[in-house]
Structure 1
Amino acid sequence: MKKLLGVLFVIAALYVSYQLLENRDSSSSIIETIQDTVQQTVQETGTRLKEELDRIEQNRTEQSATLKTGLSMNNTAAEAVVSNTELSTKDVEGIVQFLAAQLDERSPSVTFRISGSYEDISQGLSDWLKQAFHRNEYAKYAMSSYSYTISSKLLYTEVELKTTFRESKEMTDQVAQYAKELIAAMDLTRYTKEQQVKLIHDWIVTHVQYDESLTRYTAYEALTEGLAVCQGYAMLGYMLYSEAGFDVRIVEGTGKGQEHAWNMIKLDDRWYQLDLTWDDPIGQAADEVSYRYYLVSDEELRQDHVWEGDYPVASVSYKTTLAERAASLDRTSEQYKQLQALRRELGFHWHDDEYTVAAYDELHKLLEQAVDQRQAKVEFRYLKGSATEADVEKALRSLNTRLSYQMSYYQLSEQGDMVVQLALNY
């Protein structure tokens, strides 16, 4: 499982001063100086969000300390179980419910009997387990392995299911309690459902860091140590969003060819893909948040993710949903202004035509107008991303104007488009 590396592309600040005069010696026409690196965040989370997260964190400090010292990774009271529950192949629903309950109890071994033909049980058990996993996704990902044996007896078939878990029942109970108290502390009733999804997303991204040792897999470790691989992010997302009343799933597949896990969430009758791990790139500051994989569609996620299975369909991205909503509103209304502010906070505005520069000629015209108007700052999305640095320098040099500039950019999507920010000094 591997986290996306290099979501934020930060380049060294280029400070170039030049004077192009036909009657001057060429040796004095260009002077270049390389300055310190200018760090550019993927998206600004905003002062309001930071204050809100700080408030929540202050309320959670004491409880978090209790959680961190409460359990060890080996702390489990689960024991092997021999069940007397009456199960039959005539009641598949009863079998599935029984298996889901055993997963929830974290029993290392459970032996049970099923009446019915040995052949039916042998063929059906794998599918029944898959159904149980679907009903108890959190327990599925708390588990590290399972196996079963089937023995034919005279009047029944005996099954022994063996499981090992990375997160014990006691740990899961602690995570559930933490989630309950955290969601209560967030006082989500003050926010819309859309704001709630974002607030929880941002809390996880700013409180968990990717475990580069690849040894921490659970939500319990994400909370107690602040470290986890993608599975831990997805489990924590599942627990928090479920506690907040959302329909949520854990999805497994691959990301850029590596084993990976993420979430899907339902918002206003639409399902969206949500990759918390890849919205928290390695190397960025703890309080920085990306929205590159925030509520995206299946089509968008398939650019670098692959998955199979019985998952909901995310046919539309949240970016498209907000654009559709904006198109139906009066541009002078307060509701429209608030929606546009949200789009900017999420970085969705970069996809608007007014911020998009397709090729060099458009770039040259944009920078020429900016220099003529003595603009101090220019921001845009450049579709020819790999040529960003060279094209910006070429365009500014061609203007025959004495100035200096600082530039930073980062890749916005898998298409290679770049968000560019320029500071111009005259």
Structure 2
Amino acid sequence: MREMKKIFAGILMTVLLTGCSSQEILSEVPQTIVLPEEQIDSLPMQEEDPTSAETENTESFSLLEEGGSRFAYESLEAPEQIWYLEIEQALGEMEGTVKLSTDPLEQGLDEQDIDKIFQCVMIDHPEIFYATGYTYTKYSRGEKTVGIDFAGSYELTEEEAIVRAEQIRKITADWIRGIGEDKSEYEKVKAVYEQIIFATDYDLNAPDNQNICSVFLEGASVCQGYAKATQYLLNHLGVMCTLVQGTVDTGEAHAWNLVRVDGDYYYVDTTWGDASYRMEDGSEQEGLSEINYDYLCVTTEDILRTHRIEGVVAMPECTAMEANYYVREGNYFTEYNREQLQRIFDAAREMGRTDITLKCADETCYREICRVLIDEQEIFSYIPDSNSTISYAQNGKQLSLTFWVTNE
């Protein structure tokens, strides 16, 4: 009887638990200019042009798109919401200087609140890709603020912004048709996650990498571009999605998303879903899937192992597991289960895949599966070709294991 030799190539891949560097993700207010405070006896009035109303009606436009989530808006108090709506309209219509309502001033707001409200507008509206900041002028009477003028800062002209917006709508309409609006919410989130990863290269030097233009028009971006593109697509597919900003455990800035699937909240990090981005040397591995599902619909507990939530909008506690990728796909383990693992390998072979990934419920389960499959090399009992070379990657923080065949 011929002895069957088993070749085991264990490649332990160190996962880069990093986000965007300080150069990669910018504050939503990269250029805020405070004009000199003006002491006045009365607020300046705009001159009335008898033809202005007619001109506005015929020439006005807005780049705001309907159907998106207003998660950040809903987090604001009523006086803040008044200024939010005014700033939202000003940015959407690329207006010049606008006067903010004075009622919020009477209710305790001042110029220091503009920054938070501006950020909330930008968080809710990935389609405002052309705004780079704002300026304001404060009018005071003695120690009292009696008026504030607001003006957005834009890197594009109206004509340029309209052209880009139309290009984005055409491209994303094709993507949305490919995904299918009749899918379940989980299927839509998974499809968007995969589509953006397949279509986008992670590139620190990508143009417009802080907005959706980088993903949809250039096919290259960094974390904020990935996250805003995810938000844009899911909102158009009818799935609640908002932007989350913070840092990772190295202290670097990062951006990802919060989604709502079947009534429950989950975190999604499309950037970290790009497997090649998270390899230490950035190289692709033969046989390894391009997509890492460790960050598709995860809990607060899971995301806080590597991320820190910051920003101006409070996030809900995410505890549901029903829409987690590994739970939904049957790859979630509470203990070593040979029958369950065999089903996973069999399903992968039927789909023509040479890789599988599983997630463990806790450290005890994770150590047990690592011992059986790696230390005792039981993994080979699931591979029909005894001459296969198998590689594996571990994500100890997310308690996941990936195995793939590198040559057969």
Q: TM-score range by the shorter chain?
A: 0.5 to 0.7
Matching of residue 242 in structure 1 with residue 229 in structure 2: no
Q: For the structure 1 residues 369 and 184, does the alpha-carbon distance in structure 2 shift closer, same or farther, using more than 3 Å as the test? A: closer
Question: How high is the TM-score relative to the length of structure 2?
Answer: 0.59
2:259–2:266 contact (8 Å) kept in structure 1: yes
Residue of structure 1 in register with 2:296 after alignment: 294
Report how far residue 172 of structure 1 moved: 3.6
Q: Which residue of 1 aligns with 2:320?
A: 316
Between the aligned partners of 2:379 and 2:107, the Cα distance in structure 1 is: 77
Task: Please give the alpha-carbon distance, in whole angstroms, between the structure 2 residues aligned to 1:214 and 1:423.
Answer: 31
- Bigger proportion of residues as helix: 1
Letter in 2 for 1:411: Q
Cα pair 1:204 1:237 within 8 Å, conserved:
yes
| Runs (5+) with no aligned partner, structure 1 | 1-15, 19-32, 43-81, 328-336, 378-403
Classify 1:211/1:406 alpha carbon distance in 2 versus 1 (closer, same or farther; 3 Å).
same
CA distance in 1 between counterparts of 2:370 and 2:176 reads 49
Partner of 2:153: 164
The one-letter amino acid of 2:133's match is S
Deviation of the 1:114 alpha carbon:
3.4
- Of 186, 189, 198, the residue aligned with 2:190 is 198
Q: RMSD of the TM alignment (CA)?
A: 5.0
Query: Percent of aligned pairs with the same residue?
Result: 18
Other-structure match for 1:230: 223
Check 1:370–1:237 CA distance in 2 against 1; reply closer, same or farther (3 A cut). Answer: closer
Measure the CA separation in 2 of the matches of 1:39 and 1:220: 36
The Cα of 1:149 is off from its aligned counterpart by 2.3
Cα deviation 1:177-229 (Å, max 9, x = unaligned): 4323431343332x333222211211111001111326522211211111011
Matches within 5 A, 1:7-406: 93-107=81-95, 109-112=96-99, 114-115=101-102, 120-122=108-110, 125-126=113-114, 129=117, 132-133=120-121, 136-138=124-126, 143-152=131-140, 157-165=146-154, 169-170=161-162, 171-189=164-182, 191-213=183-205, 215=207, 216-255=209-248, 256-280=250-274, 281-282=276-277, 283-284=283-284, 288-308=290-310, 309-317=313-321, 318-319=323-324, 322=328, 349-351=358-360, 358=368, 362=372, 366-367=376-377, 376=385, 406=389
2:213 and 2:199 mapped to 1: Cα distance?
Answer: 13
Separation of aligned partners in 1, 2:309 and 2:109? 29
Secondary structure of the residue that 2:318 maps to in structure 1?
coil
Residues 74-133 of structure 1: per-residue CA shift (max 9 Å, x gap):
xxxxxxxx799xxxx9966443311121122234x4231533568945267437725852
DSSP 3-state at the match of 1:148: strand
TM-score for the superposition, normalised by structure 1? 0.57
CA deviation map 1:389-413 (0-9, x unaligned): xxxxxxxxxxxxxxx7633111234
| Alignment check: 8 A CA contact 1:96 1:131 kept | no
Q: Secondary structure at the match of 1:310?
A: coil
Deviations 1:271-296 (A, max 9, x none): 11000111113244898222121111
Deviates more, 1:96-105 or 1:143-152: 143-152
Per-residue deviation, 1:416 = 7.0
Q: Are the aligned partners of 2:129 and 2:212 in contact in 1 as well (CA < 8 Å)?
A: no
Q: Counterparts of 1:347 and 1:424 in 2: how far apart (Å)? A: 15
